[in-house]
Amino acid sequence: MKYTLLIILGMIFLQSKAQGSTNLKLNKTYSKVLNNESITLRFPQKKTIKLDSFTVAIDSSQLSFLKDFSLLDNNELIRNYKRHVFSGSKTRTISQFLGPIVILIDEKLPQEIKSSFINFIEDIPEIENLKFSFTKNLEDANYFIDIVDNEVSAYSKDDFNALDEQEILNDTFSQMTYKLYANKNNKFISCHYKISPSIINDSLFLTKLKKGFFSSLGGFYESYRAPKESFLNSKTDINNVYLSDYDIMVLKYHYKHLYQFSINSNGFDTLINFRKQLIN
């Protein structure tokens, strides 16, 4: 297989290392090369035919974002971020929303909750590659917060039945769940956020809704190690009305660049190493 490397931004070393590693698979561009080779046939008549070939190019500009990605230099942030995104898994990949998130909130959501929730979102500072807006038209939405008619849970029926009352109360997704629709490039196209009708009047509902919504923005995992004021902390008794600085940092980190290729935990480590080499 022939690889033609397009050298952009003088990142030759990044390119070769990326291909040498199985951790990071940059996108390839295939091109047909015309008139590369020919052969003269003896039958049915003497005739020369072209044997077209294909070349594969890997555009190293896919990594050019690294030069401005100073957040990757913060070891503590990296450790925390990886916990929320990969949760110790080697196979989970970074997933991001494709475009602006256009939210439709079910009319059945109590007005007070709705207003608080909208305020919560509108308070999120500007994040690169992540925008929010609201709509009243289902056809325009790509994020639907839906009070469904039946009871839903992120747990299977058996697992839910095994939870005691306190666990149900404390768990964000015991009575809510969301389904993200993604393409093969790990980009979220839409989210259907489903809420059990029975949870609406619970005192922790608004907090759980905020936590769940925030988690859906990157398929983030909660952790007990996150600061207690963070919406990514596993506990649900958070007094914060708005996102904490920690949460905002995670979000900025996550959406700093919309990746064109798949990144798992090892791939992410490779990116960090590339960045180190780039700045040293």
Partner 1 sequence: MRIYFIIFSLLCSLISLGQEIETKITSHKEKDTETIETSHSRALLPLKYYKQKFKKPLTRKDSLNFVYKDNDTLVVIENYKPKGISVFYEYKDSTFLDLYTRVAFKFKNDSLKNEATMKYWKDDISIYFAKEIPKKSKKKFLDFANNVINQVDSLKLKEVKRIEDSNYIIYYSGSFEYESRMEHYTDSDFYMHWNGKNQIYKVALRIKSDDLFNENLRLIEMKRLFFQSLGYFQFNTDLDCSNYFSGCYAESETLSNLDIELLQYHYSYGICKGTDYKSFITQHEKAKEVLREKNIRIVFLHEE
- Burial environment of residue 66 by CB neighbours within 10 A (0 to 12, 13 to 18, 19 or more): buried
Q: Is 22 in the site for partner 1 (CB under 8 A)?
A: no
Binding mask 171-210 for partner 1 (x = CB under 8 A): --------x-x-xxx-x-xx-x------------------
The one-character DSSP state at 262 is -
Binding mask 95-124 for partner 1 (x = CB under 8 A): ---x--------------------------
* CA–CA gap between residue 25 and residue 134 (Å, rounded): 36
Structure tokens at 29: 């561009």
Q: Is 229 in the site for partner 1 (CB under 8 A)?
A: no
**DSSP characters over 91-122:** S-B--EE-S-EEEEE-TTS-HHHHHHHHHHHH
Q: Is 28 in the site for partner 1 (CB under 8 A)?
A: yes
Q: Is 237 in the site for partner 1 (CB under 8 A)?
A: no
Upstream peptide bond of 44 is cis (omega within 30 degrees of 0): yes
Alpha-carbon distance values, 176 to 29, 163, 170, 194, 196 (Å): 42, 14, 12, 6, 6
| Beta carbon of residue 143, minimum distance to partner 1 (angstroms, whole number) | 10
Binding mask 123-162 for partner 1 (x = CB under 8 A): ---------------xx-xx-x-x----------------
* Furthest C-alpha separation in the chain: 85
Length of the chain, in residues? 280
Which C-beta is closer to partner 1: that of 38 or that of 89?
38
Binding mask 47-86 for partner 1 (x = CB under 8 A): x-x-xxxxxx--x---------------------------
Which residues in this chain contact partner 1 in the complex, by CB under 8 A?
1-2, 25, 27-30, 32, 39-45, 47, 49, 51-56, 59, 98, 138-139, 141-142, 144, 146, 179, 181, 183-185, 187, 189-190, 192, 260-262
